[in-house]
Each structure stands twice: as structure tokens, then as C-alpha cells.
Amino acid sequence: MKVLMITSEFPTAETPFAVPFISRQVDFLRKRGVKVSVFSFRGSKNPWRYLKTYFKVQSVLKKESFDLIHAQFGQSGVFTLFNSLPMVVTFRGSDLEGIIGPNGNYTFKGKILQWMSKWVARKSQAIVLVSESLAKHLPPGCAYQMIPSGLDLELFKPMDQLECRRRLNWKMDVPIILFGGRPGVKRKRFELAKEAIAKTASKPLLKPLDDVLPHEVPLMMNASDGLLLSSLHEGSPNVVKEALACNTPVISVDVGDVKERIQDIDGCYLCRNHSADEIARGVDFVLTTKSPSFTGRKHVEDLNEYLLTDKLIAIYNATLNKNGRG
């Protein structure tokens, strides 16, 4: 099977930290024998770039034959809608939920992105969502399947906390909370996280997960006493699942599929609202109740990337069969 994967984000020499969950999915598909060609682009909300990208995609499709197209993010699907190949689209969050601007409000360009994504959803042959919370943003009547972003459980695993801190050159004698995102991304709300930390009784250090190579993330997860997520919205945040795989407790507001992930796990804290006081309460709860026997990992073992890759390939095959290409 030959698949052209089109994505608006992918790791490059300039952005080696970008979307590790997509590059991991590509790697696992290739391990399963799927021939995946990746076409990545940066639209940067520029119509001229989108137009140039459209013609580049058409050129790729003329030069090489593919069985199927997989669009990562809704905006990636607009370049192939007038092609006869069947298309699978994966929606991951902001493509359906919108974009948060510097002022903390949803942007007009984000609304255009939502419109584009809904149009792509109507035209695609199969829809994949990374969390059930995104379904309410689809056009009425659109069928979809759920495949959350998977985990490499050989990479994300429990390790000795003190050894991880030593390797990172972190302080040994203070509580540390890992912020689950880049401070510069407005929807992650780093300022809210800092405000919450300032209100805690435990006064931990707050370390942002920013510009970190994939192999360093498990070290930071294991070196921390908890992971904090304060985002305005999310699809299916990988950092939460990765933290659980490392047996690191999670404090999070109710976004995306986080509630389903952590509400039944003793030692994690699902915030009742998005206030700094409530988040601070959650941080103090996790730091005062953290147990060496915390078992978050068993709750994410079903997210093994190998298992989810097989589900995605099954969707590929069903799409090809439905279009007479199987």
C-alpha cells in the first residue's frame, strides 16, 4: 500500500521538536510495511502559500502513483479534494476548535480554518478523530472513528527520579512541576500556570516542556513530581498520556479527552474549573499525596502505537475497499 501523507507540521532541521506524534505514526506505519511518502508544508495562514502548495501537491500526484491520501489536520485536505484518490483525514484539535490569538480570543483566521476543516470532512472518505470531544465540531451526519495519538511505551517508561534529575542537572531537593507545553503558545496559558504555582502552599519550581528533543521528554517526565496542563482547549494531549506512561501524576483542567484519561486515577487531579486557585489546589494535592506506587502506566497501555497503527491500517483498507481499490 502506498500512502501520501500531507501534513501542515512535521519535524525539520529548523523545527526538530515539532509534532513527534505524527513522525512516530509514520515510523510505525513503515514498520508495518506501508509505503508512506510525507509531504509537509507551512501555510502560515498565507493564501498565496496555500495556492503554491496546491500546485506542488498536484505535481507530486502526477509524478508518482498512490493508493490513498492521508491528511493530517483539516487544512491539509484542501489540496486533494479535486483528486480521484480516496482520502482519510485526521483532525487533531485546533483545526476543528479554532485558533487562539495573542489576546486570548479566537481569531478570524481560525474561523476560516474551522470552515475549511468542515468542508474537508464532508468530502473525505474516512474521518479519524483523536478525541471524542472533537465530534461536536463536525458537520451533522459525518461518520468518524476514534484513534488517539499513540505512545512508544519503550521510550516512555518509569525511570529513577533522582537519576533523571542528575542527568538534567536539576535541583534534587525541591518539588518540580512540568508545564505541558510551550510557553509561547497562547492556548497553553503559561501565565495562568505561573499564577497558580504562585498560589500553592508547596511552592514548586515550574519547568516548561519547550524545545525538547523527543528522547529527552521521558527524562523530564520522570524527573518531575507532576505534569500541569492549563490549556484553553486541546484535542487529545499527548503529554498527559506520556506522563502517565512514566508514572508521573497529572494535574489538568477539563479539556479534550483528559477527563476520560485521569478522572479514575488515584493521585491525579482533574480541576473543577479553570481558575488559578483551583489549579493551585490540584498542584498541592498531587505533591502531598504522591505515592511511590502510583500506577498511571496501566491506564495507557492500550495506547501502544503498534496497536493503534493496526487500527489505522484497517481504516486504510476499508477505505480502499469501499472505493473499489482494495
Which residues have a Cβ under 8 Å from the Cβ of 292 and sit 6 or more positions away?
none
| Predicted local distance difference test score (pLDDT) of residue 45 | 66
| Predicted local distance difference test score (pLDDT) of residue 94 | 85
Asked, colleague to colleague, whether 2-150+304-322 and 161-302 share their fold, the answer is yes
Strands (E), 121-235: 126-129, 145-146, 176-179, 205-208, 226-229
Q: Which residue has the higher pLDDT, 83 or 136?
A: 136
Tens digit of each residue's pLDDT (9 = 90 or more) over 161-199: 999 999 999 999 999 999 998 898 888 999 999 999 999
Band (pLDDT 50/70/90 cuts) for residue 261 is very high
Tens digit of each residue's pLDDT (9 = 90 or more) over 47-71: 788 889 999 999 999 999 999 999 9
| Predicted local distance difference test score (pLDDT) of residue 110 | 83
φ/ψ of residue 269, rounded to 5: -140, 120
Name the residue with cell 506522563.
243
* Percent of the chain whose pLDDT exceeds 90: 68
Tens digit of each residue's pLDDT (9 = 90 or more) over 67-113: 999 999 999 998 887 788 999 999 998 888 887 777 777 788 888 88
Q: Has domain 161-302 been given CATH number 3.40.50.2000?
A: yes
Region for residue 33 given its phi and psi (left: phi exceeds 0; alpha: psi -120 to 50; beta: otherwise): left
Chosen CATH of 2-150+304-322 out of 3.40.50.2000, 3.40.50.1970, 3.60.20.40, 3.30.420.40: 3.40.50.2000
Structural domain spans, the chain: 2-150+304-322, 161-302
